[in-house]
């Protein structure tokens, strides 16, 4: 789509935005600001999908994550608004342990990337992204597609049953 240098530049820009906003998501005191930085982070992940030539997935990411899930998060923060003020401690006392766990995970995974021999195939992706995904969803993956719709129905009913006030 672009030249190699331009896409490299976009990649580094997007990963910088993703990492910085993700660090803000896990470390800011004000939980509402965390939700706003989560929106920025998810939007940049959609940019990464476009760089990886997954345009349909980028659109789905913007519609579902940026449009729906983060709005849901902001609703929940508003409904539990007494906790959103800054005086409440937002992190517990095992920060040092968590830093060690994350550093261990990161070192292990980055080291194993270097030692693994990847069988990289150099052929291009299918031409029409959305068409191919739609055909696969309606032929090979029709059973998971139907099961996932039942999962969504169950989640909807479960959320209604959990959140209503009077007993059933």
Q: Which of residues 64-103 bind another protein (CB under 8 A)?
A: 64-65, 68-69, 72-73, 75-77, 79-80, 82-83, 88-92, 94-95, 97-99, 101-103
Task: At 20, list the tokens.
Answer: 């910085």
CA distance linking residue 135 with residue 140, whole number of Å: 8
* Interface pattern 124-163 for another protein (x via CB under 8 A): xxx--x--xx--xx---x--x---x--xx-xxx-xx--xx
Q: Cβ of 84: how many Cβ atoms within 10 Å?
A: 17
* Residue 9 makes contact with another protein by CB under 8 A: no
Cβ at position 168, least distance to another protein in Å: 14
CB 48 within 8 A of CB 14: yes
- Interface with another protein: number of residues (CB under 8 A): 81
* Residue 62 makes contact with another protein by CB under 8 A: no
Residues 6+ apart with CB under 8 A from 35: 70, 73, 74, 77
Cβ at position 3, least distance to another protein in Å: 17
Cβ at position 97, least distance to another protein in Å: 7
Identify which of residues 3 and 114 has a Cβ nearer to another protein in the complex.
114
Cβ at position 74, least distance to another protein in Å: 10
Task: Choose among 149, 130, 147: nearest CA to 58.
Answer: 130
Task: At 28, list the tokens.
Answer: 């800011």
CA distance linking residue 76 with residue 79, whole number of Å: 5
């Amino acid at each position: 789509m672009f030249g190699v240098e331009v896409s490299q530049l976009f990649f580094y820009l997007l990963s910088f935005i993703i990492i910085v906003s993700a660090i803000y998501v896990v470390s800011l005191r004000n939980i509402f600001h965390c939700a706003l930085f989560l929106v920025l982070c998810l939007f940049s992940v959609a940019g990464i999908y476009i760089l990886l030539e997954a345009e349909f997935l980028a659109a789905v990411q913007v519609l579902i994550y940026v449009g729906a899930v983060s709005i849901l998060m902001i609703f929940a923060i508003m409904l539990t608004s007494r906790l959103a003020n800054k005086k409440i401690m937002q992190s517990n006392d095992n920060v040092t342990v968590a830093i060690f766990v994350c550093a261990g995970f990161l070192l292990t995974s980055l080291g194993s990337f270097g030692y693994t021999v990847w069988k990289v195939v150099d052929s291009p992706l299918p031409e029409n992204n959305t068409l191919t995904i739609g055909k696969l969803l309606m032929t090979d993956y029709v059973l998971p597609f139907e099961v996932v719709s039942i999962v969504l129905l169950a989640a909807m009913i479960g959320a209604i049953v959990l959140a209503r006030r009077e007993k059933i």
